[in-house]
Chain A
């Protein structure tokens, strides 16, 4: 029995360390007091409501949402054909292509952001928003390729030949036979990409300008100025959003298979 006790103690302490802090920010965000404290000084939802009143939060949330959705869609638009080519064709230089598209995962984001600012935004004069979009697309591309490739590799290839023999074009076979069967993988790639992009800080660090800022950057900036619990409330809300997305994805997709 001492074994069971040991297991419970070890897991209890580990999970307390990993997850405990969330309960503390949730508690802190329900504080009625003026400054951040735990235990909270009285209970109220005032800081939760405050989150929705801060203009910069609303604006940066919209920016982050836009980047996470459209950056990920763009990454999939580039990544799905590339994954398909890498898994089904003998592409000359296939390894180089694989290395290229997975490079953004190896190079720290802060460097990507700085490089884009200095050698793309400044010389070409494109907007910060465009640069952010391109940066987030590049950032999500490796995840898109990895997850979609994995589900393509698990799909047998003879069904495409069967479709072709039954009268499909190559594209038709992809659209009618391959895509429906890797839908789970594509959706998982979208969710992983969305979460990665939404939570991303270093890439966006240098890519911010007047009125254009991602939400996490805005949170860091806000907490440097004020010490009120509204960032705690916002953090709690974001945590619940992530938990909700991941929980739904796990329930409908078996998401953890793809991570």
Chain B
């Protein structure tokens, strides 16, 4: 609209310079650290990381938990989103608000709740011993299950939000039309709902997956040093071992995964705009 290009650049420059100097540059140096050893360039740090069984375990656990949380979020998310869309508008807004609400609350507080629920004297064990299902309290904390539950609760709202907005954009009569044509519920889901909400699923899936991948608080509180994920491993490497080369490797893995997920997200978003 305005033709004065210097003026535009002058307005945008402070933010760009700030981001470049205080953000991009330090991160770039950190990432380069893994390639520097004894004054030369090498990929030894990467070889070390992937040849260590312990590090590989953490790497695959992070991927596994990320994938599992995404999958379960999607399954529950579809049911919940479909139910929300069926509600009358007023109730829909209120329920939707309740789904968004947890996102605004401190993740530390949200994760802490699971300590209360899953702890030795926690809610679940009280119920189990009370009913007599078990004599000894079951150990939930510091297991993958606990981390999984914590991550699921933390990130599922993102999936539900994406799916609700995808379903709101679905043609109103698509599902009844398919029913009238004789499709059963499985066919309706597979042939109508899923294709029409695929974008929402991918967007929600990307948000949940990257969120779970780069989570720190949940594995730190509910997993401890027994169930390490990439971020808690990175923290440990720096604070305990002072090992910056391997921290740099982990940083690179996290950034590459997060960046590719966001690239995918952006491609989908622009493909939608082009239509």
**Chain A in direct contact with chain B (Cβ < 8 angstroms):** yes
**Which A residues are within 8 Å of any B CB, using their own CB?**
3, 6-7, 10-11, 14-15, 17-19, 21-22, 24-25, 28, 35-39, 78-79, 81-82, 84-86, 88-92, 94, 96-97, 100-101, 103-104, 106-112, 114-116, 118-120, 134-135, 137-138, 141, 145, 157, 170, 195, 198-199, 201-202, 205-206, 216, 219-220, 223, 231-232, 234-236, 238-239, 242-243, 245-246, 250, 256, 259
Q: Is B44 interfacial (CB 8 A cutoff)?
A: no
21 contacts between A and B (CB under 8 A): A18-B102, A22-B109, A24-B116, A39-B126, A85-B9, A85-B10, A90-B2, A90-B3, A101-B16, A104-B23, A108-B251, A108-B258, A111-B251, A118-B26, A120-B26, A138-B19, A141-B18, A219-B112, A220-B221, A239-B105, A259-B103
Are the C-beta atoms of B83 and A11 separated by less than 8 Å? yes
Q: How many Å from the CB of B263 to the closest CB on chain A?
A: 9
Q: Is B113 interfacial (CB 8 A cutoff)?
A: yes
Are the C-beta atoms of B153 and A88 separated by less than 8 Å? no
Q: Is B216 interfacial (CB 8 A cutoff)?
A: yes
Q: Is the interface of A mostly helix, strand, loop or mixed?
A: helix
Q: How many Å from the CB of A228 to the closest CB on chain B?
A: 12
Q: Is B61 interfacial (CB 8 A cutoff)?
A: no
Q: How many Å from the CB of B151 to the closest CB on chain A?
A: 13
Are the C-beta atoms of B117 and A38 separated by less than 8 Å? yes
**Which B residues are within 8 Å of any A CB, using their own CB?**
1-5, 7-12, 14-16, 18-20, 22-27, 29-30, 76, 79-80, 83-84, 86-87, 95-110, 112-117, 119, 121-123, 126, 152-153, 156-157, 160, 214, 216-217, 220-221, 231, 234-235, 238, 244, 247, 251, 254-255, 258-259, 262
Knowing A19-B102, A89-B7, A170-B7 are in contact, say whether A104-B95 is a contact too (CB < 8 A): no
Knowing A18-B156, A89-B4, A223-B112 are in contact, say whether A103-B83 is a contact too (CB < 8 A): no
Are the C-beta atoms of B251 and A24 separated by less than 8 Å? no
Residue of A nearest to B91 (CB): A11
When chains A and B are docked, how far (Å) is the Cα of A97 from the Cα of B251? Answer: 23
Are the C-beta atoms of A242 and B80 separated by less than 8 Å? no
Residue of A nearest to B252 (CB): A111
Residue in B8, B117, B157 whose CB lies within 8 Å of A85: B8
Are the C-beta atoms of B24 and A25 separated by less than 8 Å? no
Q: How many Å from the CB of A165 to the closest CB on chain B?
A: 14
Report chain B residues within 8 Å CB of A14. 76, 79-80, 83, 99, 156, 160
Report chain A residues within 8 Å CB of B97. 250, 256
When chains A and B are docked, how far (Å) is the Cα of A145 from the Cα of B234? Answer: 30
Q: How many Å from the CB of B9 to the closest CB on chain A?
A: 6
Residue of A nearest to B79 (CB): A10
Report chain A residues within 8 Å CB of B247. 114
Q: How many Å from the CB of B17 to the closest CB on chain A?
A: 9
